[in-house]
Amino acid sequence: MCAGVVAAVAGLTGCGGAEDPDAGTNGVGKLPAPKIQSRSTKVAAAASAVRLSGTVVSKGHTYTLDMRLKDEGGTGSVTSKGQTFQLLRVGEQLFLKADSRFWAHKSEQGGQGDGKPGAGDDAAAAKLDGKYVKVPQGDPAYEQLSGFTDKGVLLGGLLTLHGELAKGDRGKTGAVRTIKITGDEGAGGTLSVSLDGKPYPLRLERGGHAGTLKLTDWNRDFPLQEPAKTEMVDYGKQLPTS
């Protein structure tokens, strides 16, 4: 009798086994790291919208981003060197909005050459304070700034891990279960991919301490329209030097 009870208990314990970490997930945790990255990249590219926030370090400069992006354009803020400006792109039309301090700063790179804004600079900057300034497509700033509003460019450039890929720990990003994949043991970046629903990338730690980004609001639409004429200044072919 005792032997039968012991056998029954042993059988129940054996059937229970260890908990399956992929139970109730989208299953990507079972895949090798390159396939996880591939699937995550594909669902990100196919998404209709995303919010991207955090920091990016590029060429020695740190940028703090809070951008909402979709295929038709994007809107949000960028901060660099203590200056914050708003970007809005609707189709091919790009607009920049900043305060007068941002525009007066132009004299440090052009203008009088003494590093200090003059009265003319202050007057011009005051007129642009809080206005959307249309960025001409031929202006060098257009290519530089429009990249911050381009969903395909940003995701394609930022979500690539470098070096040999490997799976890392399971965890959570907020309330969402995730699995990490790393490039060169983290030196090439670390990406947290959702195990719930579609395998969207949710958090990126860029390699070389080049910033950390959160990716949220996948497929959550937002309004995107050009500013009213009363809110906008059009300089034509070239922006003021800044």
Q: Could you tell me the domains of the chain?
A: 28-234 (2.50.20.20)
**How far are the Cα atoms of 77, 181, 198, 230 from residue 39, in angstroms, in the given order?**
29, 12, 9, 45
* Contact by Cβ (8 Å): 67, 52: yes
How crowded is residue 50: how many other Cβ atoms within 10 Å of its Cβ? 22
> Residue 100: its pLDDT value, please?
87
pLDDT average, residue stretch 129-147: 90
Give pTM, 2 decimals: 0.82
- Nearest CA among 184, 192, 179 for reference residue 162: 184
**How far are the Cα atoms of 48, 112, 152, 175, 194 from residue 40, in angstroms, in the given order?**
14, 50, 14, 19, 9
Place 12 in a pLDDT band, splitting at 50, 70 and 90: very low
* Contact by Cβ (8 Å): 45, 218: no
pLDDT average, residue stretch 5-18: 48
